[in-house]
Amino acid sequence: MRVLGVDPGLTRCGLGVVDGGKGRSVACVAVGVARSPQEDELAARLLTVATEVERWMDLHEPQVVAIERVFSQHNVRTVMGTAQVSGVVALAAARRGLPVAFHTPSEVKAAISGSGRADKKQVTTMITKILGLTEAPKPADAADALALAVCHLWRAPMMDRLAQAEARAAEMARNHRAKLKAAQEKRAGQQKQAAPNTGGKTR
């Protein structure tokens, strides 16, 4: 499976493409950032980022797009920009019929380093080692994008199993409710037949 990881941001949007093999085998295909000038208007900046992201999708043909889930920060303006970039990336993926997965920063950190509290330096160090890169990806946004892609590749099988287990549990619950309803209706019918019928006669 080929995954495009996206670390959304207006100034720097990290992009990383990773191929997954058997087991936990992963290989880096491409890594970089989509940039937009801070002096440009918001609409123009979003268009710049979206154009570069779409170019990567067309060039590398990922099967899944993994995006970092936006979480609350102190800087509301930064959060808004990040959320808007996430939206245009998800839209670009949807236009190509690509599934989109969102992963929280703690999920990515835990998958890559074993700790949901790892800092950016630790994540960069681990992703460099995991992918066997000769040097650490720069800037940190690029390393985070690769980490997102690897996180999805490693979490996807587990998420699929959980989804299948939930679907089976839901199906069993539906079957149980249907059988219970049928049994109640049958019992009600038997009780009605067993009830004495006076036929409305009086003595």
What would the pLDDT profile of 144-196 be if each residue is shown by its tens digit? Answer: 999 999 999 998 655 555 445 565 667 778 887 888 888 888 888 778 777 76
The least confident of 29-43, 53-67, 74-88, 116-130 is 74-88
Question: What is the phi-psi region of residue 2: left when phi exceeds 0, alpha when psi lies from -120 to 50, beta otherwise?
Answer: beta
Separation of alpha carbons 174 and 122, rounded Å: 46
Confirm or deny that 7 is annotated as ligand binding: yes
Report the pLDDT averaged over residues 128-139: 95
The catalytic position among 119, 141, 144, 185 is 141
Write down the catalytic residue from 40, 52, 61, 68.
68
In the residue annotation, 68 being an active-site residue is answered as: yes
- CA-CA distances (angstroms) from residue 13 to 48, 84, 141, 152? 11, 12, 7, 18
Average pLDDT rounded to a whole number, residues 94-121: 93
Ordered domains of the chain (ranges, CATH):
2-161 (3.30.420.10)
Residue 141 catalytic?
A: yes
Active-site residue, selected from the candidate residues 7, 40, 61, 171:
7
199 φψ region: left (φ > 0), alpha (ψ -120 to 50), beta (else): left
Share above pLDDT 90 across residues of the chain, in percent, rounded to a whole number: 65
Give the alpha-carbon dihedral of 75, 56, 137, 10, to 10 degrees: -20
